[in-house]
Copies of this chain bind each other. A is one copy, B any other.
Amino acid sequence: MQRNQGYLSLSRRNLLSLVGITAGSAAMYQAMVTLGLAAESSYKGPIQLEGDPKGTSVLILGAGLAGMTAALEMRQAGYKVQILEYNDRAGGRNWTIRGGDIITEMGGATQECRFAEGLYFNPGPWRIPYHHYGLLAYCKRLGVQLEAFQQLNYNAFLHSSTAFGGKPQRIRDIITDFRGHVSELLAKVTNRGQLEGEVTKEDQEMLLEALRSWGALDKDYAYKESLHTSDFRGYSKLPGGGPGGAPLPSKPIALSDILTSRLWASLANFTLFEYQTTMFQPVGGIDMIGKAFAREVGDLITYNAKVTKIEQNDSGVTAYYEDTKKPGVVRKASADWCICTIPLPILSQIDINVSARMRAAIQAVPYLSSVKVGLQFKRRFWEEDDHIFGGVSYTDLPISEISYPSSRFNTTGKGVLLGCYTWNGTHSYEFTAMPPEERVRKAVEYGAQIHPQYRDEFENGVSWAWHRSPFTLGCAADWSEEARKQYYDDLCQIDGRIVLAGEHASYIPAWMEGAILSSLDAVRRLHQRVVGG
């Protein structure tokens, strides 16, 4: 955005007040961005499509979030819009599986989900960072109710099958003890004068004080067993009531044990900008978002439409598609322009007459592999026995993660865990190669090493391997830095009368926000082309 230097002649306070009064909250936000109070975002508030498209038509391919965002905004701006969708539902990867759902992967493996009423599993996206402003704006506008998603739960586990005798460690202990030991070491070298030249004498004093506070060190800058460190890492006996209520301290894990366990490698998962508090999930399943969009634009969607060919000329675009419920019957849909959100592994197999550069870009981007497994248990033992309410446990076992539901906390009855979430790499390919039932069996077998209760409490499971997903053939675009340089701009250009959109045409791949911002950007440019010339 443009930074208006003239703003700066007013005081910050007066400016904000003035802008707030006269122009409402969107203007206030823009002013705050200008003043550096908020990071500059690609989402600049509700899209403004000025100028009359005069009956111009748009064909949108794919009723995922990118496609439906475009449909919503373009119809509102006066376009004639239609959408073709391969699946028999809207949402695309924004998808939730519930009891009774029947799902089929490439190769024909079919599963019927047998989850109890009210339980669900999100095979694709499942959480929303607070700085995904575009997505949050649509959630607000479309009335999608949100609740906090727990990413970091101090009481969840870090697990290495080769460390601590295979015994899972509480995240709390690894975080607190690693920070404590690091603080102790740095305090030690500071006190020995070994930071001379790096840090001023005055700052060294303050650094020592800060390390003591932050690292839970004692008055001698030591990190060791005490009630003080236990105030951070927990007690061996919790404080209680009455005469015997005094707490007992817990014993920190030695630095060497933490280092060699490599459990510290998972800590970044909790501090990345993408995973910082506050994260969200829709109440009731991630597909509440897709469903909310579909309430707006569902009337524009033709379902079960498998696009086989996309043809453009100087006057328009025609898509040929097969009705998957009536194989062999080919239909067509035409419009002045086309926004194509079909994932690249599918699009690369479709006959489409675009420029050689765009064609090369479409072919160039591999898609991430990912497998998720949802497991239903008789009871929420992770809460009842292990006191883990939401959050993620990380393990070096092939399942990689176990994630606990961030809803219905502290209730009785059955529950569904994310029992496996592999993401690229060997394990992901191995899981993809297994039949779905085998993936579930493996997820239970591995998970039982962390939660032995699995053995008695497991009821049923369901799994999705994205490389076997008929509508995506992969999880999300896997852009390398080189591919970005070579192909990204070509992929994003308006090619004749066709423009691509989706997470693959963004710098936020694999996130819903990427799909939405890419779509808004494509819409903006397309509209400019239509009304501008």
Using a CB–CB cutoff of 8 Å, the interface residues on chain A facing chain B are: 12-13, 16-17, 20-21, 25, 28-29, 32, 37-43, 130-131, 133, 136, 139-140, 146-148, 150, 152-155, 167, 172, 175-176, 178-179, 182-183, 185-186, 188-189, 192, 194-195, 198-200, 203, 206-207, 210-211, 213-214, 216, 230-248, 250, 255-256, 259-260, 262, 264-265, 267-268, 271-274, 276-278, 280, 379, 381, 384-387, 389-391, 406, 409-412, 452-453, 455-456, 488-489, 492-493, 501, 505-508, 514, 516-522, 525
Taking a contact as CB atoms closer than 8 A, the residue among B239, B262, B520 that contacts A508 in the complex is B239
A130 touches B387 (CB 8 A): yes
Taking a contact as CB atoms closer than 8 A, the residue among B183, B240, B274 that contacts A42 in the complex is B240
B148 touches A453 (CB 8 A): no
Q: Which residues of B contact A264 (CB under 8 A)?
A: 210, 213-214
Minimum CB–CB distance from A188 to chain B (whole Å) comes to 7
Complex alpha-carbon distance, A207 and B521, angstroms: 44
Q: Which residues of B contact A176 (CB under 8 A)?
A: 271
B29 touches A390 (CB 8 A): no
A150 touches B455 (CB 8 A): no
Q: Which residues of B contact A12 (CB under 8 A)?
A: 452
Copies of this chain present in the complex amount to 2
A sample of 23 cross-chain residue pairs with beta-carbon separation below 8 angstroms, ordered by A number, consists of A16-B453, A41-B240, A42-B241, A130-B387, A131-B238, A133-B387, A139-B410, A147-B409, A148-B148, A148-B406, A150-B277, A155-B276, A175-B271, A185-B195, A185-B199, A194-B194, A199-B256, A213-B264, A241-B516, A241-B520, A242-B506, A242-B521, A244-B521
A246 touches B178 (CB 8 A): no
Complex alpha-carbon distance, A521 and B37, angstroms: 51
16 more contacts with CB within 8 A, not counting A189-B195, A241-B519, A242-B506, are A38-B386, A38-B387, A39-B237, A40-B236, A130-B387, A185-B198, A203-B255, A203-B256, A213-B265, A214-B267, A231-B274, A232-B268, A233-B273, A240-B517, A245-B492, A245-B508
Q: Which residues of B contact A25 (CB under 8 A)?
A: 379, 381, 384-385
B182 touches A188 (CB 8 A): no
Minimum CB–CB distance from A52 to chain B (whole Å) comes to 24
Q: Which residues of B contact A453 (CB under 8 A)?
A: 16, 20, 28
Minimum CB–CB distance from A428 to chain B (whole Å) comes to 21
Taking a contact as CB atoms closer than 8 A, the residue among B152, B239, B259 that contacts A206 in the complex is B259
Considering the complex of A and B, which 9 residue pairs feature the smallest CB-CB distances, nearest first? Answer: A42-B240, A242-B521, A241-B518, A241-B517, A239-B507, A154-B276, A241-B506, A206-B259, A148-B148
Complex alpha-carbon distance, A200 and B259, angstroms: 11
Q: Which residues of B contact A16 (CB under 8 A)?
A: 452-453
B239 touches A42 (CB 8 A): yes
Complex alpha-carbon distance, A412 and B167, angstroms: 46
Q: Which residues of B contact A146 (CB under 8 A)?
A: 409-410
Minimum CB–CB distance from A248 to chain B (whole Å) comes to 8
Taking a contact as CB atoms closer than 8 A, the residue among B278, B379, B514 that contacts A389 in the complex is B278
B182 touches A189 (CB 8 A): no
Residue of B nearest to A148 (CB): B148
Which one of A43, A211, A410 has the highest number of Cβ atoms from chain B below 10 Å of its Cβ? A410
A247 touches B507 (CB 8 A): yes
Which one of A178, A210, A213, A390 has the highest number of Cβ atoms from chain B below 10 Å of its Cβ? A210
Which one of A198, A242, A272, A273 has the highest number of Cβ atoms from chain B below 10 Å of its Cβ? A242
Q: Which residues of B contact A230 (CB under 8 A)?
A: 273
Minimum CB–CB distance from A93 to chain B (whole Å) comes to 16
Taking a contact as CB atoms closer than 8 A, the residue among B29, B150, B199, B267 that contacts A385 in the complex is B29
Q: Which residues of B contact A148 (CB under 8 A)?
A: 147-148, 150, 390, 406, 409
B238 touches A41 (CB 8 A): yes
B206 touches A245 (CB 8 A): no
Complex alpha-carbon distance, A493 and B41, angstroms: 62
Complex alpha-carbon distance, A525 and B262, angstroms: 47
Residue of B nearest to A172 (CB): B276
Complex alpha-carbon distance, A123 and B384, angstroms: 30
Q: Which residues of B contact A247 (CB under 8 A)?
A: 507
Q: Which residues of B contact A409 (CB under 8 A)?
A: 146-148, 278, 280
Q: Which residues of B contact A136 (CB under 8 A)?
A: 410
A384 touches B29 (CB 8 A): yes
Minimum CB–CB distance from A458 to chain B (whole Å) comes to 12
